[in-house]
């Protein structure tokens, strides 16, 4: 249906711009056709109505694939934290709130550990207009030198709206969440991250952030509940994505 609408809109645009020689013999309903064209070319998020989202309960084995090769899997779960197994053999421990900073992670050449003061979980249940703020103390340790740098950040998170998020895994009803990190006593954010969180999956399907002077984004390609996320099934998903 989407492709058909786009084809109609494209034809309408061609007729509208092509001159009198191409006008149809029947009455030309220009306003209606131009409105179809505008709708087909409108790439703004489609706002929707969505029930407030409760905090999810991801379980050990739940697996998510972003892009064609990035596999993240819940390796362990308790009442407060999740430990994620990443594709390159690294691991990451995080709160159960997808928008909160990781508590510990291994990166090439350094390790990052964070403690959080405040209650990020107060953003739940997600609903438009809900806000929360909390503080992060981040300690970065460089492997070669052992040098440690401590950074304090104030995070401000907001549920912006409910929207349809179109990603390779499908079309999802999502809550759009935006978080900004601030240095103490400095009004402008040093980092902003957004997520499209799908209540039907209990996880986000899109994440975007600014890094290295460019906007970056990851989108969900597949999601597998832990009970069926066997190595064979994950390999089959990766093979399918590689062939697309």
Each residue of 87-139: pLDDT tens digit?
A: 778 899 999 999 999 999 988 899 999 999 999 999 999 999 999 999 999 99
What CATH number did the domain enclosing 75 receive?
Answer: 2.40.360
Tell me, yes or no, whether 160 lies in a domain: yes
Domain that holds residue 125: 63-243
Answer for the pair 60, 85: CB distance below 8 angstroms, yes or no: no
Per-residue pLDDT band at 165 (split at 50, 70, 90): very high
Return the pLDDT at 88: 79
φ and ψ at residue 193, rounded to 5 degrees: -130, 140
Give yes or no: residues 38 and 132 share one domain: no
Give yes or no: residues 32 and 146 share one domain: no
Supply the pTM of this predicted model: 0.80
Torsion 190-163-128-65 (CA) sign: negative
What proportion of the chain, given as a percentage, has pLDDT over 70?
A: 82
pLDDT in tens, 207-223: 999 876 788 999 999 99
Tell me, yes or no, whether 173 lies in a domain: yes
Return the pLDDT at 23: 36
Q: Which long-range contacts (CB under 8 A, 24 or more apart) does 109-117 make?
A: 109/142, 109/143, 109/144, 110/140, 110/141, 110/142, 110/143, 111/140, 111/141, 111/143, 112/138, 112/139, 112/140, 112/141, 113/138, 113/139, 113/141, 114/138, 114/139
Give yes or no: residues 88 and 13 share one domain: no
Q: Compute the distance between CA of residue 152 and CA of residue 138 in angstroms, rounded to an integer.
A: 6
Task: Centre a 10 Å sphere on the Cβ of residue 70 and count the other Cβ atoms it contains.
Answer: 15
Give yes or no: residues 191 and 156 share one domain: yes
Return the pLDDT at 157: 98
Tell me, yes or no, whether 88 lies in a domain: yes
Give yes or no: residues 32 and 135 share one domain: no
Return the pLDDT at 36: 55
């Amino acid at each position: 249906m989407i492709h058909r609408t786009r084809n109609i809109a494209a034809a309408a645009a061609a007729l509208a711009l092509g001159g009198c020689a191409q006008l149809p013999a029947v009455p030309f309903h220009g306003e209606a056709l131009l409105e179809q064209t505008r709708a087909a070319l409108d790439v703004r998020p489609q706002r929707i109505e969505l029930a407030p989202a409760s905090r999810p309960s991801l379980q050990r084995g739940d697996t998510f694939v972003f892009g064609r090769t990035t596999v993240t899997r819940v390796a362990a779960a308790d009442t407060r934290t999740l430990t994620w197994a990443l594709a390159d053999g690294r691991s990451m421990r995080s709160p159960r709130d997808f928008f909160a900073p990781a508590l510990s992670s291994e990166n090439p050449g350094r390790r990052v550990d964070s403690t959080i003061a405040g209650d990020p979980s107060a953003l739940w249940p997600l609903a438009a207009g809900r806000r929360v703020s909390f503080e992060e103390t981040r300690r970065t340790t460089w492997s070669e030198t052992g040098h440690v740098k401590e950074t304090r950040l104030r995070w401000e998170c907001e549920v912006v709206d409910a929207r349809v998020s179109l990603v390779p895994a499908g079309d999802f009803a999502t809550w759009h969440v935006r978080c900004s990190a601030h240095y103490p006593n400095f009004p402008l954010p040093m980092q902003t991250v957004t997520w499209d969180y799908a209540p039907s999956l209990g996880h986000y399907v899109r994440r975007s952030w600014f890094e290295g002077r460019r906007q970056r984004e990851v989108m969900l390609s597949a999601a597998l509940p832990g009970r069926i996320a066997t190595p064979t099934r994950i390999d089959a998903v990766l093979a399918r994505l590689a062939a697309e």
